[in-house]
């Protein structure tokens, strides 16, 4: 299918913004600037919201701003920088990577190297080092030189990103959940000038990757009739993975998670959304999978909640892969939900 480039460009803008869990400032500032004519709000924990429409019914649509990454923890005497992961980081993807450390002076690049085969034993090469064994080389030969570059403990960082378009596929880091952020932004722009019969709050939440904390704070304080969490969902559509573990396919529509590790989604919303999708010819997949989303804490707080997810290969890796058709269909589905 042919999709105009502006949707790809919008997703890329969101993907490339820094926003490690607990350090979402850059993406928050971006949203506040882009949405300034809609009077965006920032709550006490850092969530960004915009409310439009009128009526007694009030629904919320949310996506999380944060991404997995790391924080610097210590600088060694020889200038190497120790770090600690933030969120669900897989040790296997850590080494042999260029990283970005976000300092007051800007981005400092570094590398997480690995002992080369010339200097390692066969036994060494069978092992996968953990983050505790690794360090970041920022090109400094001493503690003082690392400081002079602007590196300090407790600075956020991430693995350097590429954004690659492969036809209608997107390959990059942090599709989880910058795709969701872009979807909300696009949906908001499509419905902002319509006469809506309900209030709709668009929420960009913080710290999903470290415990659904932003969504927990906002759903504790608000009685929305319906909550939709727009996120990603790992597909079992890859070599070495039994498909039944997460039976959704890339390119065949967004998916609603009936059940994940935190429980079942709202039965009422499941039936409602499946009906809307069918009536409007929007492809929709249904699955049970692992992991969870911001919808779980909304449900915990007594609200009807449903995750609407973009299928993704290689989740939480530098090469997350999604299909633009799934993103477009998620946008269309959310517009119809709002108009229903």
Catalytic residue positions? Answer: 208
CA–CA distance, 291 with 288 (Å, rounded to integer):
10
Strand (E) or helix (H) holding 332: helix 324-339
Strand (E) or helix (H) holding 51: strand 48-53
Phi, psi of 199 (to 5 degrees): -85, 140
Closest CA to 160 of 210, 101, 116, 79: 101
Task: Using alpha carbons only, give the angle 62, 49, 227 rounded to the nearest 5 degrees.
Answer: 30
CA–CA distance, 328 with 254 (Å, rounded to integer):
9
Query: Do residues 310 and 179 make contact, with C-beta atoms less than 8 angstroms apart?
Result: yes
CA–CA distance, 235 with 114 (Å, rounded to integer):
30
Phi, psi of 83 (to 5 degrees): -150, 165
Taking the alpha carbons at both ends of the chain, their separation in whole angstroms is 27
Query: Do residues 196 and 338 make contact, with C-beta atoms less than 8 angstroms apart?
Result: yes
Helix (H, G, I), strand (E, B) or coil at 154: coil
Q: Is the dihedral of CA 268, 274, 53, 27 positive or negative?
A: positive
CA 206 from chain centre, in angstroms, equals: 10
Strand partners, 310: 232
Q: How many CB atoms lie within 10 A of CB 39?
A: 10
CA–CA distance, 91 with 134 (Å, rounded to integer):
10
Q: How many CB atoms lie within 10 A of CB 150?
A: 16
């Amino acid at each position: 299918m042919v999709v105009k480039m502006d949707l790809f460009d919008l997703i890329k803008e969101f993907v490339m913004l820094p926003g490690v869990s607990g350090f979402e400032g850059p993406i928050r500032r971006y949203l506040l600037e882009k949405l300034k004519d809609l009077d965006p709000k920032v709550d006490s924990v850092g969530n960004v919201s915009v409310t439009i429409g009128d009526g007694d019914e009030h629904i919320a649509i949310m996506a999380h701003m944060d991404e997995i990454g790391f924080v610097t923890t210590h600088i060694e005497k020889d200038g190497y920088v120790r770090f600690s992961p933030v969120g669900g980081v897989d040790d296997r993807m850590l080494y042999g990577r260029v990283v970005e450390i976000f300092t007051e002076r800007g981005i400092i690049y570094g590398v997480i190297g690995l002992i080369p085969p010339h200097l390692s034993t066969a036994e060494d090469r069978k092992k996968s080092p953990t983050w505790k064994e690794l360090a970041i080389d920022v090109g400094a030969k001493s503690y003082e030189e690392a400081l002079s570059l602007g590196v300090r403990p407790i600075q956020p960082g991430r693995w350097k990103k590429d954004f690659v378009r492969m036809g209608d596929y997107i390959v990059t880091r942090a599709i989880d959940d910058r795709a969701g952020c872009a979807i909300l932004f696009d949906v908001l722009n499509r419905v902002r000038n319509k006469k809506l019969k309900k209030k709709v709050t668009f929420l960009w939440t913080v710290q999903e990757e470290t415990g659904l904390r932003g969504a927990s704070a906002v759903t504790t304080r608000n009685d929305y009739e319906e909550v939709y969490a727009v996120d990603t969902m790992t597909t079992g559509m890859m070599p070495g993975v039994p498909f039944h573990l997460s039976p959704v396919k890339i390119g065949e529509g967004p998916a609603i998670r009936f059940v994940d590790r935190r429980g079942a989604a709202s039965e009422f919303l499941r039936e409602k959304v499946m009906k809307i999708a069918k009536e409007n010819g929007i492809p929709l997949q249904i699955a049970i999978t692992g992991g969870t989303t911001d919808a779980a804490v909304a449900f915990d707080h007594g609200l009807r909640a449903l995750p609407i997810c973009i299928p993704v290969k290689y989740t939480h890796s530098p090469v997350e892969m999604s299909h633009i058709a799934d993103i477009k269909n998620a946008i269309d589905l959310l517009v119809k939900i709002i108009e229903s």
